[in-house]
Structures are given as structure tokens and as C-alpha cells.
């Protein structure tokens, strides 16, 4: 009985991830305090790319490491998930 909440948590839909439905405002919904501004910009850009159906094959950006990591994290956070 104690494992039920943990099992259900793994089935959370993308609609329940804070801010995932609004890429432009996602950083207001996710606590990114302490991260550099380049990371936050990358997080927003990655989230926007995840929501754009034509960007499925968009590669992770090169250049600033903080922006690139933020982009990947934002992309992973906002991409649609398959239901379990």
C-alpha cells in the first residue's frame, strides 16, 4: 500500500509538469534560482523546441555549455511523454 503513491508518481502526464504547457513562461514555474541566466535562456529555448512538432530532430545547440545544458534539460522537461 505504501508503494502505490510512488508507482502513480511515475505515471504523471506532461499536463501535470508545471509550466510544460507554456514554454515562454516555463522558468516561472520551475525553480531555477541559482542557475546562470544562460542556463535559464537555454531551458526556455529547449522547452520551446520540445513543443514544436517540426523540431523533433533538432540537435542540442553547441557553444556556451550552460546554455546547451539548459536547452537539453528544458527539452527533456517539456517534451511530450508517452503514458504508462
Interhelix angle 37-51/65-78, nearest 10 degrees: 40
Tens digits of per-residue pLDDT, 10-68? 444 445 577 777 777 787 888 899 999 999 999 998 998 887 765 555 666 777 899 99
Of the candidates 26, 55, 29, 53, which has an alpha carbon nearest to the alpha carbon of residue 42? 26
Q: How far apart are CA 80 and CA 21, in angstroms?
A: 10
Question: Which segments of 1-84 does DSSP mark as H helices, in order?
Answer: 4-9, 26-29, 37-51, 65-78
Q: Is the pLDDT of residue 73 over 50?
A: yes
**Annotated domain spans of the chain:** 4-78
Amino acid at each position: 500500500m505504501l508503494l502505490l503513491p510512488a508507482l502513480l508518481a511515475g505515471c504523471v502526464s506532461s499536463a501535470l509538469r508545471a509550466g510544460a504547457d507554456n514554454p515562454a513562461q516555463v522558468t516561472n514555474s520551475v525553480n531555477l534560482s541559482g542557475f546562470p541566466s544562460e542556463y535559464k535562456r537555454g531551458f526556455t529555448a529547449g522547452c520551446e523546441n520540445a513543443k514544436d512538432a517540426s523540431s523533433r530532430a533538432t540537435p542540442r545547440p553547441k557553444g556556451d555549455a550552460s546554455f546547451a545544458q539548459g536547452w537539453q534539460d528544458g527539452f527533456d522537461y517539456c517534451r511530450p511523454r508517452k503514458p504508462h
